[in-house]
Chain A
């Protein structure tokens, strides 16, 4: 069976990839410390519990990125002629599903807490001989979970776009949005301090709805990816402009009378086909080879592009 070529990031991106891996290791270490800090100060505040879950969940994109990055470089072989690129999409699906399902659970949990009119108790703890209200420690833990996360997120975002790496992008986005969780949870804790028993579960509800929202968006994108949706830019705004470029390149060949293309995404890379009606038939094999090479040279992401001469183009696409 014909296998696709071995994949490696182009020279210019290898350093970015190394940096991304390093940043993800730092993220994991950091998230473990915040999860620990939150667990130790959680008490029986629902908002803290939800923020803690959110924190643990935000580990999944980094972990899945690091796991996937060990696998997707593996060479295509007899059993996997397309290589291992789709591991990235599968990892993305897993983290999105985790986000969505735990978010749903937390929404239900928070609604029950609110409906039962649970009053969260926050007492005192003795730290280094000083007796302090646990609420202040909760706020400290939440702040520790905010600022470094924002910095990490800001550093990862541009790299994720360059590497066309969705796990990394989700991760960076979540890190950057972390301050909203912290703000909601701090409101919950301060609300308890003000004697508003409902503040805690309302804050928890806000956080969990946000988790579901993130989870749903990512889940949808992950499913679309696995269904071979047309390649989208990593920030999911629009069709990748590369599609048009490929089409133009093919249409620009002097020997091509008419053409149409089809691209799909496998992890970081694109595979695709072009259907062409040749204007003349002599030297066709060589012309096809050359055109295919030219398309591949457009961008590192285009890993394989098959050109098929046809008499009639497949039906025009429906909108």
Chain B
């Protein structure tokens, strides 16, 4: 981060370094096409401009096929855009090779999936420790202490040594939330985190994410189909046919509090 220029994207016209630094995501004209250069080339994202500040709690909504998942994969650094520029935590990803990208992903991003995607062969606490283990290479006491603290925060301290298969769906998702926070990342990307939970459990999970957002200042970008949950986010971004729109006007009544 010593290089100040690297904080400013090539087309972040007028944005000063200070503002860039307060942004966790900065997309300018991000495009994504599949089968590039072939007759069946399809563009899914047609130039997304979007910024997300540190500590924001935003919902990403939109119908199926609008490009939500593709955008999430690009934001999650799992795929590279085919056009435009993307800065994550001030780093222009175009300047990073795959190894650096993997490192950036591990340190700045947490993932929560619709399906918990916990590693079945590892206990709850081991699952929570996994991102830190990947980053540091070996187990240490601090890692274990943080994992235990996170499990305590999600109310599963007593289930620390249980395998995911011994936990209910809601509990599994809570472990997944704890895991996404293991590295204390500035941004967590959640792909329909409450998608296959009942409303009561879904509310719990949502509340938990909200708590972490408030207490730790972690930014959340939550893909959801549930307008009720989307309405409770600070900001809504709507994806439609490969474009992102601010959806404030649509939900202005729902968030009027």
Indicate whether A and B interact.
Answer: no
